[in-house]
A and B are shown apart, each in its own frame.
Chain A
Amino acid sequence: MVRRSARRHLAPSKKRGKDPEPKGPASTPVIEPTLVRLGILGLLVIIAFGALFSRLWFLQVLASEDYRVLARENRVRRVQSEPPRGRILDRNGKVLVGNRLSLSVTIDRQSLRGPRQQRRVLERLERVLDRPRSDLRSNLLNPAVSPYKPVPVANDVSRKDVTYLAENQEDFPGVGYELLPVRTYPEGPLAAHVLGYVGQISEEELKAPYFRSARPRYLGGDLIGKAGIERTYDRYLRGRPQMEKVIVNSGGEVTDRSVIRPEEPGRDLTLTLDAKIQRLSEKALASGIRAARAANYQAIGGGVTVMDPRTGGVVAMASYPTYDPGVLADGISTKEYGALGAATPNDPTDDKLLNRALQGQRPPGSTFKVVTAGAAMASGVASSSSYLGCPPSFTYGVTFNNWTSADMGSMGFARSLEVSCDTFYYALGARMEDTFGAKEPFQKYARRAGFGHVTGIDLPNEAAGRVPDRAWCNAIRKATDGAICPYGWVPGYTINMSTGQGDLIVTPLQMATTYAAIANGGKVWKPYLGSRLSVPGASGEGRVVRRFDTRVTARLPLEADELGVIRQGLVQVISGASGTAAGAFAGFPLDEFPLSGKTGTAELSATDSSLNDAWFLSYGPARSPKYVISVYVERAGHGGESAAPIAREIWEGIGGFNSTTDVTLARDSSG
């Protein structure tokens, strides 16, 4: 009853129909279609609400998780601080790389409002600090630093300047100062190639597996080891940075901060390196190269590796030319980097950063004959008591000449090494090729002795070298369209390799490793530098927390007598009457300090002997050698002439003998 009367004006009016004249006062009932029209309006409302509901369902129920991540990214920032980096010590605890605190001026980018203010602040800083504005600017704009962290723009600022800045804070908005740790090198450029340097992590490095997989995560702006030991052991040296979680609002203002993880300083790393022998090696290498240059050789560079054959530990590693890591110490500016003359395609020789001891790949010349001898005896084509002739030339399809035109007669392994007879080894190479062919025992032995692959030393970017074999030959032939290995594998390649020539390339470190194996009775070590980590102490080495071990990667498959004839030959190279290094060691107290060694000359040009690389491998003293020294000088003529004197100078230093006066250089053409 009530309801019906409530709809009075909507009462049926069919009978009025299409009456065009709505007559009568307000009491006339209104047509029914109003209800229908209200229904339409209601339907539109329902559709609109349905749309809102389904959209909310999608956003808040189905897609909520994705947006929660976005919300977190909006507000949460992680800020890391740099803990003091671990020091690097030599085997006696002498600090090779340390830290000092640098008074640095920083700018908080958050408090700089607009580029105009930034320019004005930089202009004023330029005047106060007397540093070029362009440098300050490029440091400030370093995209690698978190925007919530003040950016260091100038290191080693005077206290006076900082005081001035603090007193005139209103002119320097956002400018502050911090004591930042900076790398120091108490020994100067000593072992620069081994130690490496630090710098800010780059985009590519952030993606590299070493840095990507590390925990705690590396972040943009982190100071990392860029090369050498600093790079290999970065995880331990860096320490654990303090991690702070910062909540920011829409204006970037910090509303809350909490330390998630406290700081833990980096570990000190002790190396197998001996600073004294390192210094000795670098000095000897530099003076040897000076001497070679005085003798009109190009002598563009060289490398020395001193290794302990008993442990595989690297005692010294020198490369020439070298650089001063001090200029890169602060990790702020990258300008100095260019001055080091990174290798360019036009001038690959100018690379001061290249560590030639493990990155220089050259043919080893006659120093490789110990490998040929070992392979020949191990494969059975010769024995320790075998005698072969040493004719002026050896013919196997083509003719291979000895270094001398005289026939030196029949000889055993020891003498073949002493006089470095080429034809003796050509014959051995030919025998192995004839007997075994595609079984390639020579190549297999060479790989076992440490060639054709990286030694695995704890330094980055080691070169692998190459042992040419049939597979390589076929691959390169295909790749170069027959320019190299045009006829496929020919026995001549093996014959060439038997004297360390041809396509065989090795690094000085590989040579050191194989000579260490001869010296220690057959153990091919994986060489290493990092020996232990310690918690930093007040001075010297602190509490050791971890030791690094190395391992023997292979053993030379030689019997004692076989190893014996090789060793005997190496003794005679230095002390024998016609030893190829006898001249270089004339006057050296060999009775007191017996040495073994082998010269090598890699012939890179058939006609121009000045393009030859000079090698000298040696170990000593006597029967229980403590050191192996591998010396190599690029484009410096003959091993006995340019490389052996460098080794001699190092041995003198190790043995504590005075510098010799009467060196007569072996001016023969032996390898």
Chain B
Amino acid sequence: MATRDVFRGAVDRIGGEPVSARMARKAPIRHVDPTLLISAVALAAFGAVMIFSATESKQLQAGLDPGFFLKRQIVYAVVASVVLVIVSAVDYKHLRTAAAPLYIVGVAGLALVLTPLGTVTGGARRWFNLGFVTAQPSEIAKLGVIVAVGALLARRKGEVRSRDVMLCLAAVLLPMALIYLEPDLGTMMIFSALTGALLLIGGAKVRHFLVLLVLTVGATLAVLQMGLLEDYQLERITAFMDPTPNVQSEGYSPFQAKIAIASGGVKGKGIQDRNSQTSLDFIPEQHTDFIFTAVGEQLGFMGSSVLLVLFGLLIWRALRIAAMSRDLFGSLIASGIAAMWAFQVFVNIGMTVGIMPVTGIPLPFISFGGSSLLTNFACVGLLHNVHMRRFL
């Protein structure tokens, strides 16, 4: 490039361009990613509609406000949008210094939820009851882990040594252990997945992955051997493997989910169908973990495809941002988020269509839940942060 030649004494021009103009051109506000923002908002709107259709009839039957869940989700979305703006406003380089405190806050949250401060729902202690709303610290912790491990690996600049890998593992295993105690097998799986992705992008070597693979298999066998899993967790997995599961007990939800999705056909039954599996409440946990069944049944293959395309768009933007980032830290954060979403989408939809075992993983942006929506919007904010500041 010939910019140096043009630079003759005066510092007000770079490449014949006034510095002020150059500054203006590179200003973060001029590098918004509309595709990312629109797809995220579209997903959230999609989710709100599906939550309404999945809860309306049940609420009506119970004599409650049919729009209760919809209204809550809208409130969450508004709050989450504010969070998005805040997160994208402050340069993410400050996160490197804030990584350690963020991580500590996340782990502290996970530890606190295990104390009597946390609420037990369905046998698991995963939530804080804040009166008007419940918060799930493991959702926030996901973001904390991405930032913390990202910061750790970014320091190595692609030259990852075994002891770096061990450090990362240590940083992840602590929150994972806490989550195991809740218990929440699904979130543990997400942690494993995004750690793998961060190590991959961070520059871990093939031998590291081989050792990790061996360790994972060994740990899995050990867990099964020592009976560390709850019976219902094991049954869910065996029900998934069993070609003829008992559809009355553990196999009930995935069976009804599959019926709902497949009976939707190409065009779906429509949101208004009063005789759908969704309206007749055949699917447990439909507005949270099994929200995709409402999509599949009421909007059919076409609606499901639109949803998958929206997810694809979002993840593509995240990976693109990872590739365009000005530094490795940005790439790591972006790819970690992309991997987290992709994994959650695959496992969640996979369990409703019978290709993955049932785990309590929410579908990002779609499932009902404030913590989840907040985290995902914060992730969008972070991605956007990286995207906007790629020229600085």
Q: Which residues of A contact B (CB under 8 A)?
A: 2, 5-10, 20, 22, 26, 28, 30-31, 33-35, 37-38, 40-42, 44-45, 48-49, 51-53, 55-57, 59-61, 63-64, 66-68, 70-71, 74-75, 247-251, 253, 255-256
Contacts and interface: CB of A to CB of B under 8 A. Distances in A.
A436 B331 CA distance: 109
B335 A41 contact: yes
Contact of A59 (B262, B326, B390): B262
Given A30-B327, A31-B203, A41-B200, A67 B263 contact: yes
A40 B323 CA distance: 12
Given A61-B265, A248-B280, A250-B282, A45 B319 contact: yes
B200 A53 contact: no
B346 interface: yes
B324 A6 contact: yes
Interface stretch (B78-86, B212-220, B297-305, B376-384): B297-305
Nearest first, the 9 A-B pairs at minimum CB distance are: A67-B262, A71-B263, A59-B262, A60-B301, A249-B280, A48-B346, A64-B265, A250-B282, A68-B263
B338 interface: yes
Given A30-B157, A52-B308, A248-B280, A60 B325 contact: no
B251 interface: no
B331 A38 contact: yes
Nearest to A69: B263
Interface stretch (B128-136, B164-172, B253-261): B253-261
Contact of B331 (A34, A66, A74): A34
Nearest to A249: B280
Contacts of B51: none
A133 B296 CA distance: 50
Given A52-B345, A56-B308, 12 more contacts: A2-B391, A6-B391, A31-B203, A41-B335, A56-B296, A56-B301, A60-B296, A64-B266, A68-B262, A75-B277, A250-B281, A255-B274
A34 B154 CA distance: 12
Interface stretch (B137-145, B177-185, B348-356): B348-356
Contacts of B338: 41, 45
23 contacts: A9-B326, A30-B157, A30-B327, A31-B158, A33-B158, A34-B201, A37-B203, A38-B335, A49-B311, A51-B350, A52-B345, A56-B261, A56-B301, A56-B304, A56-B305, A59-B261, A61-B265, A61-B266, A67-B258, A74-B259, A250-B256, A250-B280, A250-B283
A63 B300 CA distance: 13
B274 A44 contact: no
Nearest to B329: A26
B323 A64 contact: no
Interface in B306-343: 308, 311-312, 315, 319, 322-328, 331, 335, 338-339, 342-343
Chain B interface category by residue count: 35 or more
A38 B266 contact: no
A5 B349 contact: no
Nearest to B93: A26
Contacts of A8: 326
A61 B280 CA distance: 23
A57 B296 CA distance: 11
A20 B265 CA distance: 57
Contacts of B343: 48
A602 B236 CA distance: 74
A30 B262 contact: no
Contacts, number: 163
Given A41-B200, A60-B264, A9 B258 contact: no
Contacts of A6: 324, 326, 390-391
Given A26-B327, A45-B338, A60 B266 contact: yes
Nearest to A55: B353
B373 to A, nearest CB: 22
Contacts of B248: none
Interface of B: 61, 156-159, 197, 200-201, 203, 256, 258-266, 274-277, 279-283, 296, 300-301, 304-305, 308, 311-312, 315, 319, 322-328, 331, 335, 338-339, 342-343, 345-346, 349-350, 353-355, 390-391
A30 B355 CA distance: 39
Given A60-B296, A67-B262, A75-B275, A52 B326 contact: no
Nearest to B197: A41
Q: Which of A5, A22, A60, A63 has the most chain B CB atoms closer than 10 A to its own CB?
A: A60
A250 to B, nearest CB: 4
Nearest to A8: B326
B275 A247 contact: yes
A249 B277 CA distance: 8
A41 B305 contact: no
Contacts of A38: 201, 319, 322-323, 331, 335
A250 B256 CA distance: 10
B157 A22 contact: yes
A74 B265 contact: no
B346 A34 contact: no
Nearest to A42: B319
Among A7, A48, A66, A247, which residue has the most Cβ atoms of chain B within 10 A?
Answer: A48
B201 A41 contact: yes
A615 to B, nearest CB: 62
B158 A71 contact: no
Contacts of B283: 250
Q: Which of A48, A56, A248 has the most CB of B within 10 A?
A: A56
Contacts of A52: 308, 345-346, 349-350, 353, 355
B294 to A, nearest CB: 14
A110 to B, nearest CB: 16
Contacts of A71: 259-260, 263, 276-277
A45 B300 CA distance: 23
Contacts of B275: 75, 247, 256
Given A64-B266, A71-B259, A56 B391 contact: no
Nearest to A47: B346
B229 to A, nearest CB: 25
B157 A53 contact: no
B350 to A, nearest CB: 7
Given A67-B259, A247-B280, A250-B281, A37 B200 contact: yes
Nearest to B341: A45
A249 B301 CA distance: 24
A250 B247 CA distance: 13
Contacts of A68: 262-263, 265
A20 B281 CA distance: 61
A60 B277 contact: no
Nearest to B353: A55
Contacts of A28: 157
Nearest to A62: B262
Contacts of A10: 323
A255 B273 CA distance: 13
A251 B327 CA distance: 55
Nearest to B300: A60
Contacts of A59: 258, 261-262, 296, 353
